Amino acid sequence: MEQVVLLAEDGTAVGVEDKAVVHHADTPLHLAFSSYVFDSAGNTILTRRALHKKTFPGLWTNTCCGHPLPGEDMAQSVLRRLRDELGMETPAPELLLPAFRYRAVMDGVVENEMCPVFRVLSDAEPVPNPDEVDSTERVPWSEYASSVLDGTRAVSPWSRLQVAELVELGPDPLAWPVAGPEGLPAAVLTNWRSASPRA
């Protein structure tokens, strides 16, 4: 049974819970990540969540989200979920927003996560796993960001909040600065191995 890491308000780990039962009307704070895959032209891959998912089914969102396993390095968790959800073998992820956190509700089910955000650079084509992803779309970052911020594109609440922070890093997603581990939840820092910078 896959488990997620439960967190205290200061970001320290306080336990684990089975992923299958952790999301409900009073979901405890837990550890997650979001990632955005960009190709060499600056396009990003969007995914539509599978229609049968318990949380936020059928919503368009960023490339891949997930939960690190207890004791798992977060960068490795990003790579694992990209393989599992999209069949993508990619280079190491780069940390962008170490302190991102959000809470969102849909149909009475709550997401409540400390959720660092990563960039992944790859020109590979996704092969969606239908258990996780209904469909994908590759769009220019500028188009995606503009449509999210002006409300013309409906996306997950976490991606909407992340886009608002990511655009502050500059217009070119390939030139965004890589963040240091400062600001990561303490539960991540206990296992953090910084992703290798691009050559």
Percent of the chain with pLDDT over 70: 95
Residue 192 pLDDT class (50, 70, 90 cuts): low
* More confident position, 107 or 199: 107
* More confident position, 146 or 52: 146
pTM of the model: 0.92
Contact (CB, 8 A) for 127 and 135: no
CA atoms of 102 and 158, how far apart (whole Å): 7
CA atoms of 98 and 114, how far apart (whole Å): 9
Q: pLDDT per residue over 61-76, tens digit each?
A: 999 999 999 999 999 9
CA atoms of 146 and 164, how far apart (whole Å): 10
Residues with catalytic function: 65, 113
